[in-house]
Amino acid sequence: MAKRIVWSEDAYQDMVQIFSYWNNRNKSNLYSRKLNKLFRDTLKSILKNPAIGRNTNVENVKRIIARDYFIIYEESESSLTVLRIWDTRQNPNKLKYGVANDY
């Protein structure tokens, strides 16, 4: 059975904020579209090879870096749930998944 990608509300809101920022800054959605492709390609890579993610301090939660962003996710037998998309240039102490000390 193929796993499906599920987006949490937090991850969805993260993407909305990221894309909105870049759309306003660049006066174009071209960069946001490239980021969206990067995020989706990274998630497809995780589905093909789940071991590529690094553990966090929360059990069953992993993260992977995609350019300047952490994609934080939880894997189950049937799905890959994206929990957050986190800009690594933010204060890492604001994130609850324990990625601050291990870039």
pTM for this model (two decimals): 0.84
Range in 2-11, 14-23, 27-36 with the lowest mean pLDDT: 2-11
What is the rounded distance in angstroms from the CA atom of residue 22 to the CA atom of residue 98?
26
| In contact, 99 and 56? CB cutoff 8 Å | yes
| In contact, 91 and 17? CB cutoff 8 Å | no
Closest CA to 1 of 82, 79, 81, 73: 79
The answer on pLDDT for 49 being more than 50 is yes
What is the rounded distance in angstroms from the CA atom of residue 63 to the CA atom of residue 84?
9
Identify the pLDDT of residue 2: 72
Q: What percent of the chain has pLDDT over 70?
A: 87
| In contact, 83 and 8? CB cutoff 8 Å | yes
Q: Could you tell me the CA-to-CA distances from 4 to 33, 46, 56, 71 in Å, in that order?
A: 21, 11, 22, 16
Domains along the sequence of the chain with CATH? 4-90 (3.30.2310.20)
Mean confidence (pLDDT) of the chain: 88
